[in-house]
Chains A and B, each alone.
Chain A
Amino acid sequence: MFEGENPLQAVMTFLDAGGPVVYALLVLAVVLWTLILERLMYYRWQMPTDVKRCMADWQARPDHHSWHAHKIKQRRVSEAQRHWRARLSLIKALVALCPMMGLLGTVTGMIHVFHVMAVLGTGNARAMAAGISTATLPTMAGMVIAISGLYFVSRLEQRVQRARHHLHDQMVTH
């Protein structure tokens, strides 16, 4: 089924066999991975400078223990975390969407199969096979995207939590 002459051809064959839902999943996957990559790059390069700037600000303060100092520290950490957490919930939602999209593809594929049955009867298994591949390929694609995304979601969450604790601990209050 997928033995195209080149990889692009194979991908196109896969997308055609899976129906429109696989195209939607492809878009979803591209968006999801762009967001994940953006976050990873952000944590790699932007996060240390954020921490450094916060620490410099904190060190520049003469007062490290009053109510004001506590509130200001809380604000700094919260602000930093808000930047770090930006789009994480979107990534989570996208990951949650993938299996649902897969299920959508399954049902549209089944509709296709039943339509074929309505037109040609149950005798023609080959005509039904196209619908069945429309039913199963999106499920598989959705699962693959969701599972691969899940790992990164938890990794990114962990990363933010650790960085927040780290920043909180570094900004010493006496």
Chain B
Amino acid sequence: MRRACAMALLGIAAFTAVAPAFPQPPQDLDALLQKTRDARASDARGLDERVQRFRDERDIRATEMREAQQRRDAAVARSESLLAEFDENEVALTEGQTQLDARSGNLGEVFGVVRQVSGDFASQSQNSIITLEHPARQARLDQLATANALPSAEALEQLWLDLLQEIVETGKVSRFSAPVVDARGAVTDAEVVRVGPFTATAGARFLVRESAAEAFTALSAQPPRGLRQRAATLAAAPSGEVQRVDVDPSRGALLGVLVQTPGIAERIQSGGWVGAVIIALGLAGVLLALERFIVLARVGGRIRRQRKDIAAPTGDNPLGRVLQVYTRQPELEPETLELKLDDAVLREIPALEVRLVWLKILAAVAPLLGLLGTVTGMILTFQQITLFGTGDPKLMAGGISQALVTTVLGLIVAIPMVLLHAMLNARSKGLIQVLEEESAGLIAEQSERRPQGQARVGV
């Protein structure tokens, strides 16, 4: 159809192209006819040629079109196969992604666990005494605990080895050389014996590790002697021998608290003024008792000497003075003599008993003062409770320690006072007994030995 249209258009164009030849009038009609026929024949020829050309052209185009269709079909087929391949690849890709996600997920978990474990272990190792024996591990652990990247396989293996070593060392008693800081701050290398992760000793000294310090610190307040002796025995023991040892299950915390335990001076200070009064009374009592001891010992010695030498009574001791009653007036009647002797004995007694009652009073007053301190301390405690509540026991500790320390001081003063009073009282009672019951007997024995006395006794 399109081709027909095109040919019509071409016919019109040929006609119009011929048209300009008309302006001159034809010379003759036959010629014109001939000419027209020729023209028409040549036109028809030309038309045929053109048709033929068009046909050839059309055939070429058809061939080209067939070729293009073939190419298109091939391309479609290829596209289809590529699409299928694409889908296949898509599936494979999804699978691969899933697998990758699963695998990298596990690895991320491992990474988290490694960080957590190494962090825990690093903080534990920072305060552990085992670290001082193996100092290299701390840096490794810190690095592993703070790392943001995936740890290397070697680092993981090292962590495993470190953990294993910790387990093994925890159950070991080991001996190694380490720096020790003493109370004055001097650092010396000493042979340290470590019992698991619990206690470390150098000789008889107990050591602790201050948080993250690079050296041991010798405790300024050492535990009781029994513990230190056992520690020294352990340090001196040959390896392989079984020993009884003391461990601090809190890994040094209890030993650290030991240093904070207040000394005697601090304790006495917390007794307050009541404590001071009690101590002053105690000192006064001790001085009093000392004076009495000296006096009574001297008097007792003189009386003993006098007893050996009854015949010559001297005025420097009570027994001598009592005996002098008789030697001055040997001719007295027994009844009068007895009255006079009693009189002389009564005069001697106060000097022997003087001030002893003070010791007794002190022994009674000291615990009372202690009680007073207890009550004032409790008042202080309750005031603290009123102000701050019971939340913090440390605030109450001041009052409570005053209460208890004064009680202790009261008892500490009262106990020796009771003892001293008992001893001095027994001594003075003994001397008084000598005067009261035995002076008359001594006189009687002496007078019996005298001939003139003998005569009078028969009365």
Q: Is A93 an interface residue (CB 8 A)?
A: yes
Q: Is B261 an interface residue (CB 8 A)?
A: yes
Q: A66-B457, A89-B422 are in contact. Are A107 and B411 (CB under 8 A)?
A: yes
Name B437's contact: one of A69, A74, A90, A100 (CB within 8 Å): A74
Q: A67-B334, A115-B261, A118-B394 are in contact. Are A107 and B423 (CB under 8 A)?
A: no
Closest residue to A12 on the B side, CB-wise? B226
Decide if B393 touches A118 in the complex (CB within 8 Å): yes
Complex Cα distance, B313 from A137, in Å, reads: 56
Would you list which residues of chain A between 78 and 133 have a CB under 8 Å from chain B? 78-79, 82, 89-90, 92-94, 96-97, 100-101, 103-104, 107-108, 110-111, 114-122, 127
Number of B residues, CB within 8 Å of A: 46
Tell me the minimal C-beta distance from B16 to chain A in angstroms: 121
Decide if A74 touches B440 in the complex (CB within 8 Å): yes
Q: A75-B441, A78-B433, A93-B418 are in contact. Are A118 and B397 (CB under 8 A)?
A: yes
Q: Is A172 an interface residue (CB 8 A)?
A: no
Complex Cα distance, B410 from A107, in Å, reads: 11
B residues within 8 A CB of A165? Answer: none
Name B412's contact: one of A16, A104, A110, A119 (CB within 8 Å): A104
Would you list which residues of chain B between 283 and 301 have a CB under 8 Å from chain A? none
Decide if A75 touches B404 in the complex (CB within 8 Å): no
Tell me the minimal C-beta distance from A139 to chain B in angstroms: 12
Q: Is B354 an interface residue (CB 8 A)?
A: no
Decide if B434 touches A82 in the complex (CB within 8 Å): yes
B residues within 8 A CB of A119? Answer: 257, 260
* Interface hub of A68, A69, A75 (most chain B Cβ within 10 A): A68
Q: A90-B423, A111-B405, A115-B262 are in contact. Are A122 and B443 (CB under 8 A)?
A: no
Instruction: Give the size category of A's interface with B.
Output: 35 or more
B residues within 8 A CB of A63? Answer: 457
Main DSSP-derived SS at the A contact region: helix
Q: Is B361 an interface residue (CB 8 A)?
A: no
Q: A74-B437, A119-B260 are in contact. Are A114 and B404 (CB under 8 A)?
A: yes
Would you list which residues of chain B between 390 and 424 have a CB under 8 Å from chain A? 393-394, 397, 400-401, 404-405, 407-408, 411-412, 414-415, 418-419, 421-423
Q: A97-B419, A127-B254 are in contact. Are A114 and B445 (CB under 8 A)?
A: no
Q: A16-B226, A89-B426, A111-B404 are in contact. Are A122 and B457 (CB under 8 A)?
A: no
Q: Is A76 an interface residue (CB 8 A)?
A: yes
Closest residue to B448 on the A side, CB-wise? A68
Q: A82-B430, A120-B257, A121-B393 are in contact. Are A74 and B408 (CB under 8 A)?
A: no
Complex Cα distance, B244 from A12, in Å, reads: 14
Q: A71-B441, A104-B415 are in contact. Are A114 and B401 (CB under 8 A)?
A: yes
Decide if A122 touches B423 in the complex (CB within 8 Å): no
Q: Is B175 an interface residue (CB 8 A)?
A: no
Complex Cα distance, B443 from A79, in Å, reads: 15
Q: Is B425 an interface residue (CB 8 A)?
A: yes
Decide if A108 touches B408 in the complex (CB within 8 Å): yes
Decide if B437 touches A107 in the complex (CB within 8 Å): no
Would you list which residues of chain B between 434 and 454 have a CB under 8 Å from chain A? 434, 437-438, 440-445, 447-448
Q: What are the 5 tightest A-B residue pairs by CB atom distance, in nearest-first order?
A: A75-B441, A93-B422, A78-B437, A68-B444, A118-B397
List 11 additional A-B contacts (Cβ < 8 Å) besides A89-B423, A127-B257. Answer: A16-B224, A66-B458, A75-B437, A76-B441, A78-B437, A89-B422, A97-B418, A100-B414, A107-B408, A114-B397, A115-B401
